[in-house]
């Protein structure tokens, strides 16, 4: 995609993005993302959300699905969410997963998305009325602009010594809503 560096912000603005797709819940529709308020706990936000509303649009359906599903991926080194159930049953996790798979048979395979989840979402094809101010947050100029704009604040509040694309794309740690961190 073609773009340019914004002279005011330094962010990389995409010039030629006109059509794309978005995965969204049917009750919200394609252009009604949840509002994120500045005082909210960002642990439940998606990785690129900012205060206000963030709309994700991709040129590729597979990438749009991957972005939605990234929030459900198991974190490397994290305790499997069914470990407590396996422990309760007095079974090793692998044994417990096999027993669940056997019991459920062909109803729902491990790692499959439940019908309820699938039924509540759809893929929307969007055509924009014109080129807009779509920012490529992964472009090096955007990362540099973010670093220049809030780098000192990130260092002071988060202890970051540098801002890279890897740091910018990292998921926020999950919490229980009371400030207790759920991720190791």
Q: Which of 21, 45, 58, 51 is nearest to 177 (CA)?
A: 45
Q: Is 73 exposed, middle or buried (0-12, 13-18, 19+ CB in 10 A)?
A: exposed
Is pTM beyond 0.95? Reply is: no
Alpha carbon of 164 to those of 132, 151, 159: distances in Å? Answer: 26, 11, 14
In sign, the C-alpha dihedral spanning 86, 90, 95, 98 is: negative
Highest mean pLDDT among 7-21, 30-44, 85-99: 85-99
The residue-averaged pLDDT of 94-118 equals 84
Beta-carbon contacts of 118 under 8 Å, excluding residues fewer than 6 positions away, are none
User: pLDDT-derived band of residue 182, with 50, 70 and 90 as boundaries?
Assistant: very low
- Nearest-angstrom CA–CA distance, 60 and 64: 6
| pLDDT one-digit tens code per residue, 108-119 | 777 778 889 889
Among candidate residues 127, 169, 131, the one with its CA nearest the CA of residue 4: 131
pLDDT tens track for 33-82: 888 887 788 777 776 677 777 778 888 899 888 888 887 777 778 889 89
For the chain, the domains span 1-13+136-184
Q: Given pLDDT bands bounded at 50, 70 and 90, which one contains residue 177?
A: very low
């Amino acid at each position: 995609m073609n773009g340019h560096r914004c002279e005011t912000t330094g962010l990389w603005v995409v010039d030629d993005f006109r059509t794309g797709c978005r995965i969204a819940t049917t009750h919200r529709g394609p252009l009604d993302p949840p509002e994120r308020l500045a005082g909210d706990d960002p642990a439940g936000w998606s990785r690129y959300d900012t205060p206000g509303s963030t709309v994700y649009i991709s040129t590729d359906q597979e990438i749009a699905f991957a972005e939605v599903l990234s929030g459900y991926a198991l974190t490397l080194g994290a305790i499997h969410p069914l470990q407590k159930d396996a422990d309760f049953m007095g079974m090793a996790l692998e044994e417990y997963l096999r027993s669940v798979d056997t019991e459920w048979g062909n109803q729902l395979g491990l790692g499959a998305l439940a019908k309820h989840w699938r039924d509540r979402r759809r893929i929307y094809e969007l055509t924009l009325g014109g080129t807009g101010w779509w920012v490529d947050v992964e472009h090096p100029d955007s990362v540099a602009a973010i670093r220049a704009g809030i780098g000192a604040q990130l260092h002071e509040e988060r202890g970051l010594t540098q801002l890279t694309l890897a740091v910018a794309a990292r998921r926020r740690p999950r919490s229980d809503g009371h400030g207790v961190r759920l991720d190791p």
